[in-house]
Amino acid sequence: MPNGHSSAVDTFMQGLKKRNPGEPEFHQAVEEVVNTLMPFVQQNKEYEEARILERLTEPDRVVIFRVCWEDDKGNIRTNRAWRVQFNNSIGPYKGGLRFHPTVTLSVLKFLGFEQTFKNSLTGLPMGGAKGGSNFNPKGKSDREVMRFCQSLMIELHRHIGEDTDIPAGDIGVGAREISNLFGQYKRLVNRFTGVLTGKGLAFGGSLVRTEATGYGAVYFTQNMLACSGDSLEGKTAVVSGSGNVATYCVQKLIQSGAKPLTLSDSGGFVHDPAGITQEKLDWIIDLKTQRRGRISEYAQEFPGVTFHEGQRPWSVACDLAFPCATQNELNEQEAQTLIRNGLKAVAEGANMPSTLGAIHTFLGNKIPFGPGKAANAGGVGVSGLEQSQNSLRIAWSAAEVDQRLQGIMKGIHDQCVQYGKGEDGYCNYVRGANIAGFVKVADAMLAYGIV
């Protein structure tokens, strides 16, 4: 990057850190974006003069509230919850809710900021938001989770609505939690509206929403490989996580003729050299969603599989890497190991799973690298389709939704290429996604004037 840009980035980041102390994840997400956007903004003076970057890094609104609930033993428990409404320039706020003990304001601001760009990339009219709580659903009974969700919604319902802010799931918020949240919302406002996405099929959910993020990451990879005339057929893949995104990423890899080798959770990873098959995956999905077990049990169930306690899967040689668990789960050394072992492409199923050092390593080695805001946008894309179906009061078939999902992922890929392809033919998808996501939001902000 030329010196003028890097000193402008430094000055910008110093100001941002001063205004937002103690928020390392938010700083990291902004730095990744500003690094690639600064030269573009400096070349397009209307954005610079309107201070769009300063305005875009300040959330529209943050709501912080207490959530009290009673556990099964009659103890009173207190958690904290947030809704970060980041930017609604191009549509109502939209973004998931995360329930995990590591949730902080910093984490939700990073996620809401990323979501603004991601939603813009989908081509659908959705603004960016994120929310959640430091509540840990792990080890809680179904009734405890229900009481927590109901208590949370008593406050949250004032701030959301089908034309205002439409939350969805994320880590720790799956079908059970969305159902509890939607049931309570409906009871409080006495209206049946598409205020949440990821709903059950019986009450307004969309087919393929569950699968959409993982499937979308694989579709994005197909598009990246196709640029060099390559395909997924016969490729080995290392996948991290074993939740919603990871499991459906594995499913689409299997359907596409690739060979997924690993899955993980916070306890460690499993390595199946024979490859995870659909039959084994069905067992895993049941383990994770019904029995709420640990991925280590997979190694006990199937011969030839090893469990690596406390480790991440990036030491396993592969053609493709899909980090699908959580932020900062793939660092610079691990990126180097993957490349030494013959890596051909990376697609981020999770949000910000690669550290800044890892991203620089992938880009420096000209590895096709799909950043989360592009590669995992399939989830929110189908959430947008769920909203459309709710508004129209119709339900599309699985084939129709999947077709639209593939179209959305191709559209995102092509926008990244438009802004990210260099003279040597290498596409920097990070730059492409950041600029393409930015332009639409920034132009809307310019049109509104000083708001």
Q: Which of residues 196-235 bind ligand NDP (CB under 6 A)?
A: 213
Q: Which two structure tokens, joined as six digits, stand for 323?
A: 């980090």
Among residues 57, 88, 376, 390, which is the contact residue for ligand NDP, using CB under 6 A? 376
Structure token digits, residue 148: 């927590």
Of the candidates 211, 265, 272, 386, which one interacts with ligand NDP according to CB under 6 A?
A: 265
Q: Is 349 an interacting residue with respect to ligand NDP (CB under 6 A)?
A: yes
| Shortest Å distance, C-beta 287 to ligand NDP | 11
The amino acid that residue 277 corresponds to is: T
Answer yes or no whether residue 170 interacts with ligand NDP by CB under 6 A.
Answer: yes
* Options 92, 95, 205, 243; binder of ligand NDP; rule CB under 6 A: 243
Is 266 a binding residue for ligand NDP by CB under 6 A? The answer is: yes
Least spacing, CB of residue 37 vs ligand NDP, in Å? 21
Q: Please pick, from the candidates 169, 194, 313, 371, the single residue that binds ligand NDP as defined by CB under 6 A.
A: 169
What is the C-alpha to C-alpha distance for residues 136 and 99, in angstroms, rounded to an integer? 6
Report, in Å, the least distance between residue 313 CB and ligand NDP.
11
**Radius of gyration in angstroms for the set of CA atoms belonging to the chain, rounded to a whole number:** 21
Q: Does 37 bind ligand NDP (CB under 6 A)?
A: no
- State how far the Cα of 45 lies from the Cα of 48, in Å rounded to an integer: 5
Question: Does the footprint of ligand NDP cover residue 323 (CB under 6 A)?
Answer: no
* Of 36 and 327, CB closest to ligand NDP: 327
Q: Which of 122, 179, 180, 244 binds ligand NDP (CB under 6 A)?
A: 244
Upper half-sphere CA count for residue 179 (Cβ side, 13 Å): 11
The first and second tokens of residue 63, run together, are 């709501």
What letter represents residue 303's amino acid?
Answer: P
Sketch the per residue contact string, 406 through 435, with ligand NDP: x for CB under 6 A, - otherwise. Answer: ------------------------------
18 is catalytic: no
Q: Which of 94, 109, 130, 259 is labelled catalytic? A: 130
Closer CB to ligand NDP, 194 or 379, in the complex? 379
Binding-site string for ligand NDP from residue 89 to residue 108, where x marks contact by CB under 6 A and - marks none = -------------x------
Is residue 84 near ligand NDP by the rule CB under 6 A?
no
- 326 counts as binding ligand NDP under rule CB under 6 A: yes
Which active-site residues does the annotation give? 130
Q: Which residues here bind ligand NDP, judged by CB under 6 A? A: 102, 169-172, 174, 213, 241-246, 265-267, 324-326, 349-351, 376, 379
